[in-house]
Amino acid sequence: MGDEVPGVATRDGAAGPRSLFDKLWAAHVVREETADTPAVLYIDLHLVHEVTSPQGFDMLRERGLSVRRPDRTLATLDHSTPTTPPGPDGERAYYTPQAKAQVQTLERNCDEFGIRLEGWGSDYRGVVHVMGPELGATQPGMTVVCGDSHTSTHGAFGALAFGIGTTEVGYVLATQCLPQRKPKSMRVVVNGRLGPGVAAKDLALHIIRTIGVNGGTGYAIEYAGEAIRALDMEGRMTVCNMTIEAGARAGMVAPDQVTVEYLRGRELAPSGDAFDDAAANWLALATEDGASFDREIHVDAADVAPTLTWGTDPGMSVRLGEAVPEGDTPGRRRALDYMGVTGGQPLDGHAVDVVFVGSCTNGRLSDLRAAADILRGHRVSAGTRMLVVPGSESVKRAAEAEGLDRVFLEAGAEWREPGCSMCLAMNGDLVPAGKTAVSTSNRNFEGRQGTGARTMLASPATAAACAIAGRVVDPRAEAAREVA
């Protein structure tokens, strides 16, 4: 089919070198924007989960509409699902009857509208942003939306991917399109290489701290530079996932050979000759030399070290060993007070009650390996509870095949069924009020992991090291002890 694959249309009109984002945008414009009306943007892949979709389907029923492209819609169950296995009677321990009703509603809606659902019993069910890429549903050149802000994750493949609200879920179900104004563009260039023991999560937290939790508002971000190129796809997904925590709806990385090899052989990716054709087009999406951005930021990878958040937004972070800021503003005072953290001194040594490894940020196989590498041969501290939740059924299978579940269980951690779990407090996995959790998830907002819960965001390696020590420690010190 020549030089065009889904999402990689060539278009006239854009003179000069174009960025990845420019190409993605232009290839999906059904109707150009004007001063009076937004662009109509075509959506290639619509991911759906149980929490933000029921009222979208209701909109269809109220208006007598069908789903325009069920073949471009893919659903799963993740947010309100329990992470404990079903009982002997097959019953699942839903947190509330409403949670169960919500799951059943999505099952019914998918049935009624002919949508593929990776539900209970599926080999692929998982957190929506873990499942899509694993299946090969997410591909370079696509537009991807989901009623979930961490849809930015899929941008790691060189897709334009962003979160939407439930009304917009209804729009996409009905028309496969969204009214959109083109955001401004920002490039974040990460020069150099991350040091040993420094994770993609540490880089993500460093970038958010650098540009601020609102620094990306109004922008789509492209991540570039040597350190980004050196990341594997899972690391790139972690970075793109956290883009929304800097206020930008979309984060992306240009496709390269790493992207192509990740997708080869995935169930929903093209196969045979079609794959090679597609791959050539994917590689052509990269930003051209001289393309312009509304804003450009340079970050030195050598400045990144294992990082933890000390406060109540993802920009409030410090490197291990670095002093937490003093409470010199009302916001900082409130955050220190909420977290029970003392300003002016490092977090190192702070007691940790709960450790959570999982979520769409860090619930993939490489994340579980990183945690298991630290934990192997150790015990989780007596006073600390550690929960490890694989991001999907596929991740769970792969982890069990290499014995990671044994590592966690022998260390005294819990090994759960896939789901969003403790990332957000709506499925029964909660951090008790006043307790401190080191969590590999993405949000440390007040109450995010339970009313009164105190969340410190970190990488899987840092989380595992903290679990062993029962307090905040540098995973590199932990690794050093291993060798000694």
Binding track, positions 317-356, relative to ligand SF4; x by CB under 6 A: ----------------------------------------
264 secondary structure, DSSP code: T
Name which of 43 and 320 has its Cβ closer to another protein: 43
Angle value at C-alpha 232, between 215 and 201, nearest 5 degrees? 40
| Residue (299 or 431) nearer to ligand SF4, CB | 431
User: Among 24-32, 126-134, 306-314, 452-460, which window interacts with ligand SF4 (CB under 6 A)?
Assistant: 126-134
3-class DSSP state of 254: coil
Name residues contacting ligand SF4, limited to 442-461 (CB under 6 A): 442
Stretch that binds another protein, among 91-99, 377-385, 393-401, 475-483 (CB under 8 A): 91-99
Name the amino acid, one letter, at 482.
Answer: E
Instruction: Tell me the two tokens of residue 32.
Output: 């150009």
Among 23, 150, 187, 364, binds ligand SF4 (CB under 6 A): 150
Angle among Cα 213, 219, 223 to the nearest 5 degrees reads: 85
Task: Write out 7-63 in H/E/C secondary structure.
Answer: CCCCCCCCCCCCCHHHHHHHCCEEECCCCCCCEEEECCEEEECCCCCHHHHHHHHHH
Q: Are 444 and 309 in contact (CB under 8 A)?
A: yes
Contact criterion met (CB below 8 Å) for 383 and 464: no
Contact yes or no for 390/423 (Cβ under 8 A): no
- Binders of another protein in range 414-443 (CB under 8 A): 424-426, 433, 443
Residue 79 within binding range of ligand SF4, rule CB under 6 A: yes
Sign of the Cα torsion 434, 436, 441, 444 reads: positive
- Quickly list DSSP for 338-358: HHT--TTSBSTT-B--EEEE-
Sole binder of ligand SF4 in the list 22, 148, 367, 393 (CB under 6 A): 148
Backbone angles phi, psi at 46, to 5 degrees: -115, 110
Span of 63-71, 110-118, 196-204, 401-409 interacting with another protein by CB under 8 A? 63-71
127 binds, among another protein, ligand SF4, none (CB under 5 to 8 A by kind): ligand SF4
Among 131, 424, 457, 469, binds ligand SF4 (CB under 6 A): 424
Tokens in use for 297? Answer: 């930021």
Q: How far is the CB of 230 from another protein (least distance, A)?
A: 30
The item of another protein, ligand SF4, none sharing an interface with residue 14, based on CB under 5 to 8 Å by kind, is none
Residue with tokens 């290639």: 44
Q: Determine how many CB atoms are found less than 10 A away from the CB of residue 131.
A: 28
For the record, the structure tokens of 184 come out as 């401004």
Q: Which is nearer to ligand SF4, 18 or 416 (CB)?
A: 416
Letters for 357-396 (x = contact with ligand SF4 by CB under 6 A, - = none) are --xx------------------------------------
Q: Which does 280 bind (CB under 5 to 8 A by kind): another protein, ligand SF4, none?
A: none
Residue 71 Rama label (left phi>0; alpha psi -120 to 50; beta): alpha
Q: Which residue stretch of 40-48, 272-280, 338-346, 408-416 sits at the interface with another protein (rule: CB under 8 A)? A: 40-48
Beta bridge partners of 250: 220
Which span (113-121, 176-184, 354-362, 392-400) binds another protein, by CB under 8 A?
176-184
Helix extents (H) in 257-392 = 257-263, 273-283, 330-339, 359-362, 365-375
The reply on whether position 174 binds another protein by CB under 8 A is yes
- Give the shortest CB-170-to-another protein separation in angstroms: 7
The entry of ligand SF4, another protein, none that residue 209 binds, CB within 5 to 8 Å by partner kind? none
- Residue 213 Cβ, how far from another protein at the closest point, in Å? 6
* Rounded least distance, CB 442 to ligand SF4, Å: 5
Residues that bind ligand SF4 (CB under 6 A): 78-79, 127-129, 148, 150, 359-360, 420, 423-424, 441-442
